[in-house]
Structure 1
Amino acid sequence: MDLLEAMDRRHAVRAYTDEAIDARTCDDLRALIGRLNAADGLGMRLVTDEPDAFGNALLHYGMFRNVRNYVAIAADQTKDWERRCGYYGAQVLLRAAQLGLDTCWVALSFSKHQAARHAGFDAEDKVRFAIAVGHGVTHGRPSRSKTYGQVASAEGGIAVPTWFEHGVEAALLAPSALNQQRFTFRLEADGRTVAADPGIGPYTRTDLGIAQYFFEVGAGAHAPLVWR
């Protein structure tokens, strides 16, 4: 499936079967993770057949069950780290969906210490997020979403191009902490610059990073898109 189909298919899945992820799929994900880490300096690692990070039921906001495979995302506090985690992690999330896996973006409901230990991170590498991956008991279901008009605007009454509309519609498919979707996108008067605002609240900058990547996919490779 292409990325647009993957975005539409992807829903948060919190319960997984015992079916292993095949070696070819793991190799594909690790190759992408390696390229993204090299490009941005983040630390992302795929961990397979490891139950400890999601093994404590007391941590399980959202009722996670049988998560044995995940991508651990580590970052220091260099500039814009929160948004970058979301932007690059979203690319792994969608690639996993393309490969037929179910996923869930996770901020709190796992042991970051155990994830760091099993991923082999150094002591100074701090795990911030995880992406649960695997074969879901179900493929999940759509979450409640805001409308286009609640998150999008254009300056000066300019005609809104199709690429901007498609970008916003794609961003509304992105995972968001507590499903808050506090981000907004404003098309500026030049018709090509998009001002992105994370809003106020927990994890909103990371949510914006995820939504920005979804927006770019929806807008298309030929959109005259400039971020501000």
Structure 2
Amino acid sequence: MMELSEAIRVRHAVRHYTDKPIPQDIADELQKTIDECNREGDLSMQLKLNDPVAFEGFLTDYGIYKGARNVVAIVSDRTPDWEERCGYYGAHVLLRATQLGLDTGWVRQFGRHLSKHVELEQGERPRFAIVLGYGVNHGHQHKSKRYDQVARVPSGMATPDWFRRGVEAALLAPTSLNQQKFVFTLQPDGRKVSAKAGLGPCAHTDLGIAKYHFEIGAGSDADFVWA
């Protein structure tokens, strides 16, 4: 199975899907990740398979989803940081699906559209969705900002390799309208990293996705903590 760092590089947004079903063993593996992320992130993400009526023809800013019949609904209440948690743990699921050989698309306008297809507790609602399955193609890389547009390092300080790798991985994260409105700043102690969202639709959710990508890019041996 591919490493997460490779999954970051090969994953691209896909909108058109074939009717090939997701095998049960792959669905089971994905469900394990969803269960783990729900526990850690205090979310209620739900995997829904083989429901073409719910998603066919759904229009987004990027175009229409066709053949989409499988989805992970990202459900949360409004407890603090819900937006960033949806992004951070949703990114776990997104990249796990990629490791399992699935194509994906992160959808930000899916909330109300999914309400009648998921189970909701008091105060919960579907915020986003991950459409998944086997694409007609595997998508393509979108234009990205440059490293120096989103990275800040104190003047005169050498940039650690892990910091650069982390930022470069964050630049491959899916963001709303491909806006990439986040900044990663290395603190003067050379160990703490602050991550800040800019202004824009879903900016804090995008930051959560980017932070997970940063952690994967930096590597498990990187000696850093979030400020």
Report the TM range for the smaller structure's normalisation. over 0.9
How far residue 64 of structure 1 moved from its aligned partner, in angstroms, is 1.2
- What SS does the corresponding residue of 2:27 show, helix, strand or coil? helix
How far residue 31 of structure 1 moved from its aligned partner, in angstroms, is 0.8
The correspondence of residues 45-64 of structure 1 with structure 2, limited to 5 A, is 45-57=46-58, 59-61=59-61, 62-64=63-65
Equivalent residue, structure 1, for 2:181: 182
Q: 2:16 & 2:56 partners in 1: Cα distance? A: 13
How far residue 87 of structure 1 moved from its aligned partner, in angstroms, is 0.3
Q: 1:56 & 1:221 partners in 2: Cα distance? A: 41
Equivalent residue, structure 2, for 1:31: 32
Q: Deviations over 1:118-177 (max 9, x none)?
A: 233336320000001000000000000001011001023211100000000000010000
C-alpha RMSD over aligned residues: 1.3
In structure 2, list runs of 5 or more residues that go unmatched.
none
Residue 127 in structure 1 maps to residue 126 in structure 2: yes
Residue 90 in structure 1 maps to residue 97 in structure 2: no
Contact 2:147 2:167 in 1 (8 A): yes
Q: 1:68 & 1:11 partners in 2: Cα distance? A: 18
How far residue 100 of structure 1 moved from its aligned partner, in angstroms, is 0.5
Question: Among the aligned pairs, what percent are the same residue?
Answer: 52
Residue 102 in structure 1 maps to residue 103 in structure 2: yes
Give the structure-1-normalised TM-score: 0.95
Q: Deviations over 1:156-212 (max 9, x none)?
A: 321110000000000001000000001010101100111111111110000000000
How far residue 117 of structure 1 moved from its aligned partner, in angstroms, is 2.8
Q: 2:49 & 2:67 partners in 1: Cα distance? A: 12
In structure 1, list runs of 5 or more residues that go unmatched.
none
Indicate the larger mover: 38-47 or 172-181.
38-47
The correspondence of residues 1-228 of structure 1 with structure 2, limited to 5 A, is 1-57=2-58, 59-61=59-61, 62-108=63-109, 110=110, 112-122=111-121, 124-228=123-227
Q: 2:205 & 2:149 partners in 1: Cα distance? A: 19
- What SS does the corresponding residue of 1:140 show, helix, strand or coil? coil
Contact 1:52 1:114 in 2 (8 A): no
- What SS does the corresponding residue of 2:185 show, helix, strand or coil? strand
- What SS does the corresponding residue of 2:128 show, helix, strand or coil? strand
Contact 1:46 1:119 in 2 (8 A): no
Q: 1:190 & 1:95 partners in 2: Cα distance? A: 33
Give the structure-2-normalised TM-score: 0.95
- What SS does the corresponding residue of 2:53 show, helix, strand or coil? coil
Q: 2:135 & 2:57 partners in 1: Cα distance? A: 19
Q: 1:227 & 1:45 partners in 2: Cα distance? A: 28
Q: 2:53 & 2:85 partners in 1: Cα distance? A: 26
Q: 2:126 & 2:185 partners in 1: Cα distance? A: 32
Q: 1:107 & 1:114 partners in 2: Cα distance? A: 11
Q: 1:162 & 1:3 partners in 2: Cα distance? A: 18
Alignment size in residue pairs: 225
Contact 1:48 1:69 in 2 (8 A): yes
Q: 1:173 & 1:158 partners in 2: Cα distance? A: 25
Q: 1:124 & 1:77 partners in 2: Cα distance? A: 7
